[in-house]
Amino acid sequence: MCQLLGMSCKKPASIGFSFEGFRARGGRTDEHRDGWGIAFSNPNGFDIYRDEQPAAGSHLADHISKAEIKAKTTIAHIRKATIGEVNINNCHPFERKLWNKSWLFCHNGDLKAFSPELDSCFVPEGNTDSELAFCKLLQDLNRDFPDGEPTLEILFDWLHNASVVIARQGTFNIILSNGEWLYTFCSTHLAYVERQYPFQEIEFIDTATSVDLSIHNDQDDRMVIIATHPLTRNELWNVYTPGQSRLFCNGHLVHEKANT
């Protein structure tokens, strides 16, 4: 299956070090060779980069790593194809417009029996179960809130309940964002770590490198990193339980809920 990576920050920050460890799993230390993508929030939406090549050897991924792009919200994905061909249209993250905002979505898992009816508002460009689920979520949001975006608390509860329903069709680990917040749902595997002052030296599992975060961050910096599996060996990663949702904003955990 695929793997997910996300970051929510108090101030714009680079995900470069974590992305290097993550992309190694795209063909070097793991089997996720079927494309990758990364998106960085900006005041007008997202800057999105996708490639059907393995992330570990991608020239575009090399460029992204060296560019040290800073954003308050970042989402990345490495793909192991299970449903849908290996091509650019099936690379995550997927983007759609809702309520005059760009929404981004990444999925890890299989929804083989998932076949919802879609109207003409949100239509997949590729042929993955992931993009189909994304279009279904946005279609139902648009239907249930015809007057526009609800409060964040109401939206979080709605997303949690909708995620639980879709997860009954298979495996549904996701990251969803409109650039202001980052919503996550765990069906099987997901974890997050908080980074804030005093920053420490961290050791990456996949690249056998270490980074002193105190050199690269100010005292008032704060961020949360979310990944399918922990990227470092010497940090406290909070592991989700199946059926759990968490929503992050500005580097803080804002809402969480478990499936009861």
Percentage with pLDDT > 70 across the chain: 98
Question: Mean pLDDT, to the nearest integer, of 210-237?
Answer: 94
Question: Mean pLDDT, to the nearest integer, of 20-37?
Answer: 84
pLDDT recorded at residue 56 = 84
Least confident piece of the model among 29-38, 80-89, 183-192, 225-234: 80-89
pLDDT recorded at residue 259 = 78
CA of residue 16 relative to chain centroid, distance: 15
Whether 249 sits among the annotated catalytic residues: the reply is: no
- Return the structure tokens found at 31: 């089997």
Percentage with pLDDT > 90 across the chain: 75
Residue 216 has pLDDT above 70, yes or no: yes
pLDDT recorded at residue 104 = 97
Half-sphere CA count of 23, side-chain side, radius 13 A: 27
Mean of per-residue pLDDT scores for the chain: 92
Quick: pLDDT tens for 39-61.
Answer: 999 999 999 999 999 888 899 98
pLDDT recorded at residue 83 = 66
Question: Mean pLDDT, to the nearest integer, of 119-128?
Answer: 90
Question: Mean pLDDT, to the nearest integer, of 82-92?
Answer: 81
The catalytically annotated residue of 2, 91, 186, 249 is 2
pLDDT recorded at residue 223 = 97
Q: Name the nearest CA neighbour of 13 among 217, 245, 158.
A: 217
- The amino acid that residue 100 corresponds to is N
pLDDT recorded at residue 26 = 85
